[in-house]
Structure 1
């Protein structure tokens, strides 16, 4: 039987006292790093060990923060880990400067002794960086500048309270009610409250967004980067031509996306649709899915694919690696934290007994499984971009949803089809729209600060490109409550999710044809995800051409066929 405990057990990893001691020790080690008194290979080994521990502690502290944002002592730890991360980046810069001065003979020897992919990648990245002293200065200033703005954003967003049903609720709770409330009247009330609350705070959030983008653009300008997507492509190990081909394939299918939205609105008998109507389910499951039932469904479907996946997932449940409890003082959203030293993961989410929550749980378990495969490798070979990091997670979403669809009666089947389509359109509709909004925002930010009114206008214009004339007024404040816009570590953080989703579709199609592909294609790709570019992974494990629109159209096919199935299944309901 699956466990019904929905609180994780962080104390199994570290206590706060242990964390403080380890932060101090790691800071001392970083302060003494880079003296040049040891060999380059020895220095690399030291840096790898320190980075592994810094990443683990940083994720652990963020988990402490997420489980209860009201704990003041954790805010102090967050600041300490930010400083630690900055010191780590400085040490990496020092090491890379030494790396750049190696002769070809020394470089060849070093490559033969250690992880050549990481070294080759870092050497190429160094050519796009400023001299070491300037890079170190940027990293030092970022702690109380760049990173501090992100921390302020998180505090402000988490502290937002929306007046709803004679009480004040979090922005996450209000949005959940706006999208999934029992009646349209309830959804309208929640949506209006969200808009009103965001409108009152928009100037402050616009200031934060402007400061984060401004700092980033100043750094890019100093490095001589004319293209704001340089760092995005660098972090995700992919080319801009890959993104362009993917977006072109998505654009070609926008008419079908709109047909789905039009059918939904027709079936809902909504004459004047509002932004929350596009998310609301027309066909609703009559069942509430308890946390225990969701675990059972997921375990069953994972076992059908491969016993190893199911055994791993049962361990995650049994060992208390998940915080799914619905309670106050939790942070918004969900994530999966990797602990490479302990070789474990922790999953954070809020479970509210809805099918969407089961999908989220499956998604985060995909991350955890990916982590487990990488934890078998040296740490430098575990470092991956967001795009490929999202592949296993969205794969697991498809696996669970399709299984429920297959086993459901007609009305339940339509409800599940809606959920699957909504999840897919989030990746190929909403996220590309936010990416294009962000590109336009950054283009205008290069000429000066952008007002909150203009930011909202840019958001509306891009929404209109997706939805056409379906909505009189799209959601004007998505840019406030989508935290990915404010991430200082990952620029243009939204679009990698689309890449990961479509890659997962390709892999899922292969495994549906033959389950052997799980061990011969899926798992090998995940293990290699820290040692290859997106293009190399596509070519080697998918036999595809990443800059081909046809490749991405094929990756869209599972979603397109699901939309067509939905339109066919509901055609009998159209007058």
Structure 2
């Protein structure tokens, strides 16, 4: 059994990937070679205008190997640059590299468009024979999926044009948002009265402070800070949506959710059923929020109270203690998960230091060529930070399980990615509640756990409502910053059933997820992942140790089937029906009922 190093390092290392950071010669050569490889494959595919013949499939098998290899290298490059820009928002060379990687990705997407056109034009009889071949059969699901998507899109030359224009248009606006965020500073009055200037990542931690006065003051300054850049954010969001809507129009897609659902390999029936079951149970969570307000001596919770600690907190938890607790609880479910997490800590795959200049939020990113991952966050010693750390390690473990699969089969969607991370977070959160030293601490930790449910059922739902309505309105023209704020607050009031005394109008400006260009609608997959993992957790509790192997097998299938097929194969359930969702919801509702009993 591997032990954690002493002390556990709180900063990551990137030198083993590409030495020299944003000035790495090795990385420059890596990108240059990648560009050449993609250009060669592009040239090869351009010469294939006739329908595919049987004798050509062997050559295409080799081309597929090249495409998978290039896909892994693009992810490697993108992840490395993401780490550089996240650890230091003022690294201008890293920002330039980000633009270069985006250009290479666009070239690859153009090449894939040509490849998918070959798939689209392949006769059905030949296709079936090709997909049955031993070397192709393992990735036949993904290839068939690419073939069907190609038939939904524009002609290859038009899709390539759109991809080229997206570099400085669509993706360019997304990168512009990062520039805006790097300039945002949130004033904060320290305990000695001195005025400090916090990055948005540091200020976000203050929003969860034990002291309500600190939270409220920080939130007021937070709103003002985002109000100051709201016009820039509104411009950015409008342009992103405008590009996407125009492309959808040209493809003949009239449903804004068509692409998000396609990417997440998920049906509209499943999505609607999930939200329906959540909506059925929201009154229970309103009762919780009302009880929490009562315990805090308030008529209603404000926005900054929703995630605030309640009563006795666990105090500041050192990073080392957090690492030990996470590994301990992971081991109780799966020794394999625990051993992987020890490796991540010991090999310094995690950046968690609380310092200026870092971007806000947290992420886990994979490096398939190096067969490593990197986790980014800002650790402030709160229970919420411990949960985030466990969450990101869940992501990393998911990727670890996929390492030996073909690259195409590693391309799992966001909704199932959030399943692994949320499951890992749940293991730790549940253990913290059960092992609390006294009832006051237990209540505090239980409240934090219920806070996660409210985040997925209400906060994420507000984002989904906002974005759905924003896109409908954007079809008629550009929305002003004030209109966006009004739309955001309206969505929040509806999603929270009017249970709060104040809301966060500029949430649309402060939340990075609205500006991510790789994945449209970066919201409902989070809730799916939470609900799906809760259902898995309920089964793990019933089945004990033998569930760990079943869990690993499910995760390994996430890149090669729809979520409905995944649930049917591994859980024998139908996601378009309410039964599984109600079973999953019962776990979260039980937490609220326990809380209400303990605080009666």
**Shorter-normalised TM range:** over 0.9
More divergent stretch after superposition (266-275 vs 51-60): 266-275
Tell me which residue corresponds to 1:20.
28
More divergent stretch after superposition (306-315 vs 493-502): 306-315
Other structure's SS at 1:6 match: coil
Q: Distance in 2 between matches of 1:261 and 1:142?
A: 43
Q: Distance in 1 between matches of 2:223 and 2:81?
A: 32
Tell me which residue corresponds to 2:563.
534
Q: Distance in 2 between matches of 1:81 and 1:211?
A: 21
* 1:151 and 2:175 correspond: yes
In structure 1, runs of 5+ residues without a counterpart are: none
Q: Distance in 2 between matches of 1:275 and 1:377?
A: 44
Q: Distance in 1 between matches of 2:202 and 2:10?
A: 18
Please tell me whether the aligned partners of residues 460 and 473 of structure 1 are also in contact (alpha carbons under 8 angstroms). no
Tell me which residue corresponds to 2:365.
337
Tell me which residue corresponds to 1:96.
116
What root-mean-square deviation, in Å, do the aligned CA atoms of Structure 1 and Structure 2 show?
1.4
Other structure's SS at 1:33 match: helix
* 1:137 and 2:145 correspond: no
Displacement of 1:150 in angstroms is: 0.5
Q: 2:483 aligns with which of 454, 459, 468?
A: 454
Other structure's SS at 2:154 match: coil
Tell me which residue corresponds to 2:597.
568
Tell me which residue corresponds to 2:95.
75
Displacement of 1:341 in angstroms is: 1.4
* 1:118 and 2:120 correspond: no
Q: 1:485 aligns with which of 511, 514, 520?
A: 514
Q: Distance in 1 between matches of 2:97 and 2:115?
A: 27
Displacement of 1:521 in angstroms is: 2.1
Q: Map of 1:231-246 to 2, 5 A cutoff? A: 231-246=259-274
Q: 2:38 aligns with which of 20, 30, 42?
A: 30
Tell me which residue corresponds to 1:55.
75
* 1:384 and 2:419 correspond: no
Q: Distance in 2 between matches of 1:209 and 1:399?
A: 36
C-alpha spacing 1:194/1:152, structure 2 compared with 1 (3 Å)? same
Displacement of 1:158 in angstroms is: 2.6
TM-score, normalisation: structure 1: 0.97
In structure 2, runs of 5+ residues without a counterpart are: 48-55, 190-194
Q: Distance in 2 between matches of 1:522 and 1:428?
A: 24
Please tell me whether the aligned partners of residues 40 and 110 of structure 1 are also in contact (alpha carbons under 8 angstroms). no
The number of residue pairs the alignment matches comes to: 570
- After TM superposition, the runs of 4+ consecutive aligned structure 1 residues lying more than 4 A away are none
Other structure's SS at 1:422 match: helix
Q: Map of 1:91-490 to 2, 5 A cutoff? A: 91-111=111-131, 112=133, 113-114=135-136, 115-165=139-189, 166-178=195-207, 180-271=208-299, 273-408=301-436, 409-490=438-519
Other structure's SS at 2:173 match: helix
Other structure's SS at 1:338 match: strand
Other structure's SS at 1:326 match: coil
Q: 1:84 aligns with which of 90, 104, 116?
A: 104
Displacement of 1:548 in angstroms is: 1.1
Please tell me whether the aligned partners of residues 20 and 77 of structure 1 are also in contact (alpha carbons under 8 angstroms). no
Other structure's SS at 1:253 match: helix
C-alpha spacing 1:518/1:17, structure 2 compared with 1 (3 Å)? farther
Q: Distance in 1 between matches of 2:485 and 2:220?
A: 16
Other structure's SS at 1:167 match: strand
Other structure's SS at 1:336 match: strand
TM-score, normalisation: structure 2: 0.93
C-alpha spacing 1:249/1:272, structure 2 compared with 1 (3 Å)? closer
Tell me which residue corresponds to 1:7.
11
C-alpha spacing 1:482/1:264, structure 2 compared with 1 (3 Å)? same
Q: Distance in 2 between matches of 1:365 and 1:538?
A: 23
Other structure's SS at 1:11 match: coil
Q: Distance in 2 between matches of 1:176 and 1:314?
A: 26
Q: Distance in 2 between matches of 1:389 and 1:451?
A: 34
Other structure's SS at 1:32 match: helix
Q: Distance in 2 between matches of 1:219 and 1:362?
A: 38
Q: Distance in 1 between matches of 2:178 and 2:528?
A: 26
Displacement of 1:332 in angstroms is: 1.0
| Per-residue CA distance 1:466-508 (angstroms, 9 max, x = gap) | 3334334311111111111111110101110110111111111
Displacement of 1:75 in angstroms is: 1.3
Q: Distance in 1 between matches of 2:252 and 2:312?
A: 53
Tell me which residue corresponds to 2:527.
498
Displacement of 1:448 in angstroms is: 0.6
* 1:543 and 2:551 correspond: no
Tell me which residue corresponds to 2:84.
64
Other structure's SS at 1:337 match: strand
Q: Distance in 1 between matches of 2:470 and 2:572?
A: 36
* 1:525 and 2:525 correspond: no
Please tell me whether the aligned partners of residues 90 and 182 of structure 2 are also in contact (alpha carbons under 8 angstroms). no
Other structure's SS at 2:187 match: strand
Q: Distance in 2 between matches of 1:59 and 1:343?
A: 12
Other structure's SS at 2:41 match: coil
